[in-house]
Amino acid sequence: MYRTRWTTRLEVGFSQPKAPEESGKELKALGTHIVCELSGCDAAKLTDVDAVRAMMENAARAANASIVTTAFHRFQPQGVSGVVVIEESHLSIHTWPETGYAAMDFYTCGDHTDPWAACEYAAEALDAKTMLTTEVKRGIEAGHNRFTHVVTTENDTRELLAATA
């Protein structure tokens, strides 16, 4: 299980939305994009293109997303890149088995999906020791026919079962 240790929020764009607590409104975004760095992953899992594909499809299902298609490639001598196209956007991965590292993106639109569920599923499935994430709330109305985004950085550290037993 991953727990947030600290969070910082950086608002970017040509027109800044007010923070929800300032405006009295909930920040409404068209989509949520999570950029995820997984470290200390199982190298064998990062090398197996079929296992990575299955894990990413299961992560999409964990997010309650509808899969449209997938494309995955295994590099020689190692590493996998792939994307799961979902009706709500996409999930992508690139792996470096030699370092135990996976770079992932989880981007979903709509109120019925949970990209965090996909992110946490992938971290568990790859036996990641640490997870560093940046969340981007995208498609925030900033004026007539103008949109912006808000970036939130979270540092998550895995709490090992052995440490809590």
| Residues annotated as catalytic (active site), given as ranges | 89, 94, 109
Angle among Cα 55, 61, 64 to the nearest 5 degrees reads 150
Q: What is the DSSP letter of 18?
A: P
Judge contact between 46 and 97, C-beta under 8 A: yes
Q: Whole-angstrom Cα distance, residue 2 to residue 151?
A: 20
For 144, the token pair is 């007539």
Q: Whole-angstrom Cα distance, residue 85 to residue 109?
A: 12
Q: Whole-angstrom Cα distance, residue 19 to residue 26?
A: 8
